[in-house]
Amino acid sequence: MPKRERSPEERSSDPAAQQMLIWADELGLGTAFHRADNMVPCNLGAAGMCCKLCGMGPCRLTKEGQTGVCGATIDTIQARNLIRAIAAGSAAHSDHGRDMAFTLKAVANGEAEGYMIRDVAKLRTVAAKYDIPIEERAPEEIANDLADLYIAQFGQQRGEVAPLRRAPDKRQQLWAEHGVVPRGIDREVVEALHRTHIGDDQDPEHILQHAIRTALADGWGGSLIATDVSDILFGTPAPVLGQANLGVLKEDMVNVIVHGHEPTLSEMIVAASQDPEIIEYAQAAGAKGVNLAGICCTANEILMRQGIPAAGNFLQQELSILTGAVEAMVVDVQCIMQALVGLAQNFHTEIITTSPKVKIKEATHIEFNEHRALTIAKEILRHAIDNYKNRGDTHIPDVREDLVPGFSHEYINYMLGGTYRASFRPLNDAIMAGRIRGVAAIVGCNNPRSRHDYLHTYVTQELLKQDVLVVETGCGAIASAKLGLLLGEAGLDNVGPGLREVCETIGIPPVLHMGSCVDNTRILTVLTQMVEEGGLGDDIDQIPAVGLAPEWMSEKALSIGAYCVASGAYVIFGGSSPISGMPNRVSDSDIVLGYISQGWEKLYGGKLEFIDDPDEMIRKTLEHIDKKRAALKLPAYDPTRFGFSGDTRMLELEALPLAERQMALYGAPVPEEV
Ligand code: XCC
Ligand code: SF4
């Protein structure tokens, strides 16, 4: 039975997206929103009750006690499906990290056209963590050694993936005790595939133990390498002013959208777009210049480093094409919908694939390679400029919002203490005092099965009212950006009193944009430093913090969820659970669901749960934060204690008559002589 088609308001909470969905209907063109309405999800697959790992199947387990042809139980099948998804997610992030490491190697050896080492300080700090000599050495020499070390992590067969040593000591011991320390990044992914081949590992808990090891190879391995190298080559992010939403596209310029994930390509396109030769070429074509904008995590990469605007998040990739104003959409890897090509054929937009790993039928392929990066980037832009003359009518929604992204771990450290006494002390103190109740990391994708951006922004706004400091990455960060939550003053109106004081004192927005999805590692290193700073326990699982992915859809999100759990976090995923199992199953027979929650909590102090109701997500988040506060013997959260300093409160007080102001400040009128 086909589902009812939803209205634009039901499909998205973003006014720009709503306008474009109405426009799509007028043009009679479909998008992921339309396809989601017409594609009823397979209920067996959705619940993890289907196995297609061998030719004796696919086996659909629909009755209690039923097994596959080989005898595999539903729990084994669910665990295998879950680890395979985690392995794919880990592979995607880590392969991105590998390419970054190869680029670093090429830059160190002067073989990468257009790139340079922009952040020597970070290079030295990171190298020193691995005992790479840094004194009296040129940045290129240090970078060469670091690149070799990082490249070696992927194919390493024995030992430990090196960046894991950046986790808190206690956490490292715990991983060693449970036998989940990844040996080599590729090795764990391969082993996950081996173990799930027909007739291998058939103990669900044992399978999921390796899922943790595979995910750790991502979070504290491949992704951490990606973040480190991106910062070294392109600069560690610090706050810049940016803009987000489809209204960043320009009528009078050649619009080029970069979409995907790896900053190697997008950073070079940024550089090429500012080249006088390219600007002249665009002007000769009748445009004012080249206007770059990003989609998905590539957007986050160039937004937080260069202030290049974000045209939108995952579900806006098709909507941007519907504007008719995009000359080229340049894509590399991950989260690129095949539907873009067919949709673009209704307009002049050219879809250009660039990665040797990703081609899409009927798209233009201009292969990127870091040795000729700038030349290729210019070639791509000339292509886009040549296409400007083919532009027809445009339909750009006049919707955009300012934002301040760029809160890297390093910048947070600096902003809290300045150059000479950089420290997390003020943050820990604010949590300990209860001004900040706790921290929520709200990350992850969009999913057309739920209302676009709604879960992200609803949960974010409600937690802010409860004095929870929110950090964000990925498409979730772009959702908040579009709503104006990533701005200092403007974002503070509906923020709890204690958190507002902290934000006003330090001068930060209540929601901190920390980057792309590989940059969830910044959250890991921030949590580690919070532990090291003292006062919040001696391991990550003791910090009053929760991770949420309200609109998740990708396998990468599952890998992120698993490594956050392994690092000690309570992680809540929205939407449906890929392992929910039979609807009539009694809950304690739900081995896999129980294991990733209570089972993992016993082992790692973190747990993974799927909760579809946003109010329940919020309730569970606050409950967990308060539980962790109590365990640390911190004062219970009490919003009435704060909000008496800071700009907003001072302005309110100044507006009061003298006697009332005195009552508010001192609890009594102040006698004349005082
Ligand atoms: Fe993709 Fe990274 Fe998800 Fe967005 S949040 S839909 S994975 S772009 Ni990473
Ligand atoms: Fe069926 Fe077992 Fe083959 Fe899976 S591995 S398809 S459960 S026979």
Burial pattern 309-319, b for ≥16 Cβ within 10 A else e, equals: bbbbbbbbbbb
100 Cα–ligand 1 center, Å: 18
The mean per-residue pLDDT over the stretch 461-489 comes to 95
Strand order in the sheet with 438-442: 511-513, 468-472, 438-442, 545-549, 570-573, 607-610
User: What whole-number distance in Å separates Cα of residue 243 and Cα of residue 107?
Assistant: 31
Contacts of residue 391, defined as CB under 8 A and 6 or more positions apart, other chains included, come to 324, 325, 327, 348
647 Cα–ligand 1 center, Å: 36
297 Cα–ligand 1 center, Å: 6
- Measure the CA angle with vertex 450, ends 449 and 452; round to 5°: 110
18 to each of 10, 176, 395, 469, 601, how far by Cα in Å?
Answer: 9, 50, 13, 29, 41
The bridge status of strand 401-403 relative to strand 310-312 is unpaired
For atom 6 of ligand 1, which residue has the closest CA?
445
Ligand 1 site, CB within 6 A:
261, 296-297, 314, 335, 444-445, 474-475, 517, 554, 556-557
Token representation of residue 53: 């790992």
- Closest atom, ligand 1, to C-alpha of 557: 7
Q: How confident is the model at residue 659 (pLDDT cuts 50, 70, 90)?
A: confident
pLDDT for the residue numbered 35: 97
- Closest atom, ligand 1, to C-alpha of 554: 7
Residue 626, helix vs strand vs coil:
helix
652 to each of 7, 238, 492, 664, how far by Cα in Å?
Answer: 42, 32, 14, 11
pLDDT for the residue numbered 583: 65
Residue 256, helix vs strand vs coil:
strand
- Nearest listed ligand to the Cα of residue 226: 1
- Closest atom, ligand 1, to C-alpha of 444: 5
Over residues 65-88, the pLDDT tens digits come to 899 999 999 999 999 999 999 999
For atom 1 of ligand 1, which residue has the closest CA?
335
521 Cα–ligand 1 center, Å: 15
**CA nearest to 33, candidates 42, 44, 41, 24:** 24
Tell the residue number behind the tokens 């919003």, with chain if given. 639
pLDDT for the residue numbered 473: 98
Token representation of residue 349: 């937009």
- Closest atom, ligand 2, to C-alpha of 76: 7
Over residues 13-54, the pLDDT tens digits come to 999 999 999 999 999 999 999 999 999 888 888 888 899 999
- Measure the CA angle with vertex 383, ends 377 and 387; round to 5°: 145
- Closest atom, ligand 1, to C-alpha of 552: 3
Average pLDDT, the chain: 94
Residue 504, helix vs strand vs coil:
helix
Burial category of 633 from C-beta neighbours within 10 Å (exposed 0-12, middle 13-18, buried 19 and up)? exposed
**CA nearest to 481, candidates 243, 304, 237, 239:** 243
Mutate to test the pocket of ligand 1, among 303, 475, 518, 520 (most ligand atoms within 8 A of CB): 475
More confident residue, 652 or 576: 576
The answer to whether the CB of 254 falls within 8 A of the CB of 289 is yes
- Nearest listed ligand to the Cα of residue 196: 2
pLDDT reading at 673 higher than 60:
no
User: What whole-number distance in Å separates Cα of residue 333 and Cα of residue 358?
Assistant: 6
Identify the H or E element spanning 310.
Answer: strand 310-312
Over residues 350-402, the pLDDT tens digits come to 999 999 999 999 999 999 999 999 999 999 999 999 999 999 999 999 999 99
